[in-house]
């Protein structure tokens, strides 16, 4: 679990995050959504320690980040897995070399132990027979699977995903969403996903944080977001006519069942 209390962050006198308080729950897919410029990327980077907050605190299962020693911060970083937008794979490395990279960097495992774990996660994300291929030789969806495998290879407690569906077709995006959610539940990880994909919000949004102009304007889950009357949320999530029709249909079914 990650607890955020009264986080503020400014750049050159412009305040981006304005007193955000929320909890990202363990064993759930926690989504951060909002328009461009809402502060969601800054919030994600602040959680990761890339940005240092001006005020407030962030705690990882009771460990307040700003109070940790340098050694304790290094330990915490080994407990974090990251799926980057665009996957950020090493072009010169094979699939298995990309996945093995964190183990070689952060552990003292033998080569046999490393390859055993690599093959385990390759099988888990259904990348069988792709070990020796380079990123350029596999599809975008497979590259995302490699990125997920690399992120979980060191058994993280916390998994961060920055626009994991970026550049994928809708069908593949759903597969990646489901894979992230399955892994979150299976390993009881605290997963935080920065996304603009409304399919992801409705499919796997077990806990959703909606930001507007640096303020936490709404939070709830994918069932509650369908029923909400918050105008900012409705305008953002249901901006297309198709989503508006889906929302209305779902609301009518819910009202009929009451």
Q: What is the pLDDT of residues 9-37, one digit of tens each?
A: 999 889 999 999 999 999 999 999 998 88
User: Within 13 Å of residue 73, how many CA atoms lie on the same side as its CB?
Assistant: 11
CA–CA separation, 66 vs 128, rounded Å?
41
Is residue 245, in this structure, part of any structural domain at all?
no
Segment (H or E) for 227: helix 224-227
**Averaged pLDDT for residues 161-173:** 89
CA distances from 177 to 31, 98, 166, 168, 209 (A): 11, 21, 12, 11, 17
Model confidence at 240: pLDDT above 80: no
Please give the pLDDT value at position 13.
86
Q: What's the structural domain count of the chain?
A: 2
pLDDT tens digits for 214-230? 999 999 999 898 888 88
Mean pLDDT across the chain, nearest whole number? 91
Task: Give the residue, 234 or 221, on which the prediction is more confident.
Answer: 221
**Averaged pLDDT for residues 154-173:** 91
**Averaged pLDDT for residues 189-194:** 96
Confidence of residue 2 (pLDDT cuts 50, 70, 90): very high
Same domain, 40 and 149: no
Is residue 238, in this structure, part of any structural domain at all?
no
Cα 114 versus chain centre, distance: 25
Same domain, 170 and 74: yes
Please give the pLDDT value at position 36.
85
Please give the pLDDT value at position 198.
85
**Averaged pLDDT for residues 222-242:** 82
Model confidence at 256: pLDDT above 80: no
User: Residue 111 sits in which domain range?
Assistant: 91-154
**Averaged pLDDT for residues 143-167:** 93
Is residue 241, in this structure, part of any structural domain at all?
no
Is residue 148, in this structure, part of any structural domain at all?
yes
Same domain, 149 and 186: no
> Is 35:212 a contact under the CB 8 Å cutoff?
yes
Task: Give the residue, 155 or 87, on which the prediction is more confident.
Answer: 155
Please give the pLDDT value at position 258.
59
């Amino acid at each position: 679990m990650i607890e955020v209390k009264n986080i503020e962050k400014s750049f050159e006198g412009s305040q981006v995050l304005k007193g955000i308080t929320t909890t990202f729950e363990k064993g759930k897919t926690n989504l951060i959504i909002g328009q461009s410029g809402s502060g969601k990327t800054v919030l994600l980077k602040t959680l990761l320690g890339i940005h240092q907050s001006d005020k407030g605190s962030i705690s990882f299962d009771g460990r307040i980040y700003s109070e940790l020693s340098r050694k304790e911060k290094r330990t915490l970083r080994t407990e974090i897995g990251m799926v980057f937008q665009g996957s950020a794979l090493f072009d010169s490395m094979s699939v298995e070399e990309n996945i093995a990279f964190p183990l070689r960097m952060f552990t003292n495992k033998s080569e046999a132990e490393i390859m055993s774990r690599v093959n385990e996660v390759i099988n888990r994300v259904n990348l069988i027979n792709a070990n020796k291929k380079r990123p350029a030789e596999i599809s975008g969806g497979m590259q995302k699977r490699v990125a997920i495998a690399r992120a979980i290879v060191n058994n993280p407690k916390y998994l961060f995903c920055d626009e994991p569906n970026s550049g994928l077709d809708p069908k593949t995006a759903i597969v990646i969403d489901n894979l992230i959610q399955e892994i979150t539940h299976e390993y009881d990880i605290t997963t935080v996903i920065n996304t603009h994909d409304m399919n992801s919000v409705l499919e796997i949004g077990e806990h959703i944080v909606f930001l507007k102009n640096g303020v936490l304007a709404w939070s709830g889950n994918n069932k509650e977001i369908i029923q909400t009357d918050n105008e900012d949320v409705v305008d953002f999530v249901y901006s297309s006519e198709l989503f508006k029709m889906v929302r209305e249909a779902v609301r009518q079914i819910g009202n009929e069942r009451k």
